[in-house]
Amino acid sequence: MDPEFGIVLTTVADVDAARRLADGLLEQRLAACVQAVPIQSAYRWKGAVQHEPEFLLLIKTRAALYPEVEAFLRAHHPYETPEIVRVAIAAGSPDYLRWLAAETEPPADRG
């Protein structure tokens, strides 16, 4: 059984891309909160090891919204193959989880 809430992870190369994605997710109520954390990434890409500064986005959302969050990220993400991973929130502060639920309540026109 899936927990009701989750965190979707993705990375982008710069703060402008992080803000664009965060704003779009928040405006569409697909996320209650998006945090952008500067990180250093090391990864293999097209046969070579890369070392790049990036921003890790922590997207707090409802588990039921994951398909829409993924679709939004695929449509708006600047990377050819973006990281899009959902991590379940197994437990959390009841007050915080109530706030998360309220902020991701679908607008009447989304149904």
Distance CA 8, CA 66 (A): 8
Q: How confident is the model at residue 20 (pLDDT cuts 50, 70, 90)?
A: very high
Residue range 100-107: average pLDDT? 89
**pLDDT at 30 (0 to 100):** 98
**Could you tell me the domains of the chain?**
5-85 (3.30.70.120)
Q: How confident is the model at residue 1 (pLDDT cuts 50, 70, 90)?
A: very low
Output the pTM of the full model.
Answer: 0.91
